């Protein structure tokens, strides 16, 4: 299998979110078959869903991998669990120590029971698009939409860069 350029969204709002993201990035970069290609700036955003939780710290990493998409997804779950994440289907958009989402897997479109790529809602989330634009400002999604067009359609004044 030839290498695939992928983008992973990271988010955290429990414990020390910035440290959680740095730790997750370090753990991902240490996985056999994953080569870290870039890390966006960190952004602070209001939570989606219930507002009675702390703000999130979000980022995107670019990686190159020969791993199959579902194998990569399992690694993301492993890294989340290592950071205390417990996936609970009844707690959608709740607070979490770490959330890792496979945003893009090359130009693949994947729709299975446990994985949807590109990530659903990617073009409606400023906390995904702004960090992704740090790494791939000219990204064109598999459906032909341009990242810059999606950004232009959003009010991105709800984010602050960290540091």
SS (H, E, C) 124-156: HCHHHHHHHHHHCCCCECCCCCEHHHHHHCCCC
- Out of 96, 107, 114, 149, which one is annotated catalytic? 96
Respond yes or no: is residue 96 known to be catalytic: yes
17-29 and 69-82 helices cross at what angle (nearest 10)? 140
Residues 6+ positions from 89 with CB-CB distance below 8 Å: none
- Out of 52, 71, 81, 85, which one is annotated catalytic? 85
Q: How far apart are CA 93 and CA 145, in angstroms?
A: 26
- Out of 41, 101, 145, 158, which one is annotated catalytic? 101
**Cα 40 to the chain's mean position, in Å?**
11
Task: With H, G, I as helix, E, B as strand and everything else as coil, classify residue 115.
Answer: coil
Respond yes or no: is residue 71 known to be catalytic: no
- Out of 99, 107, 149, 157, which one is annotated catalytic? 99
Respond yes or no: is residue 85 known to be catalytic: yes
Tell me if 116 sits within 8 A of 149, measured CB to CB: no
Respond yes or no: is residue 125 known to be catalytic: no
**Counting runs of H as helices and runs of E as strands, what totals does the chain give?**
4, 8
Which are the catalytic amino acids?
85, 96, 99, 101
């Amino acid at each position: 299998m030839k290498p695939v350029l992928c983008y992973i969204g990271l988010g955290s709002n429990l414990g020390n979110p910035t440290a959680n993201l740095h730790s997750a990035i370090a753990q991902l970069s240490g996985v056999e078959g994953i080569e870290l290609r870039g890390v966006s700036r960190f952004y602070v955003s209001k939570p989606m869903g219930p507002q009675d939780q702390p703000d999130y710290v979000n980022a995107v990493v670019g990686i190159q991998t020969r791993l199959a998409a579902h194998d990569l997804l399992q690694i993301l779950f492993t890294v989340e669990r290592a950071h205390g994440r417990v996936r609970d289907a009844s707690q959608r958009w709740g607070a979490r120590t770490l959330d890792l989402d496979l945003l893009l897997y090359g130009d693949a479109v994947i729709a299975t029971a446990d994985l949807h790529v590109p990530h659903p809602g990617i073009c409606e989330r400023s906390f995904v698009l702004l960090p992704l634009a740090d790494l791939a400002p000219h990204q064109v999604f598999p459906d032909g939409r341009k990242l810059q067009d999606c950004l232009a359609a959003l009010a991105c004044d709800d984010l602050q860069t960290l540091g």
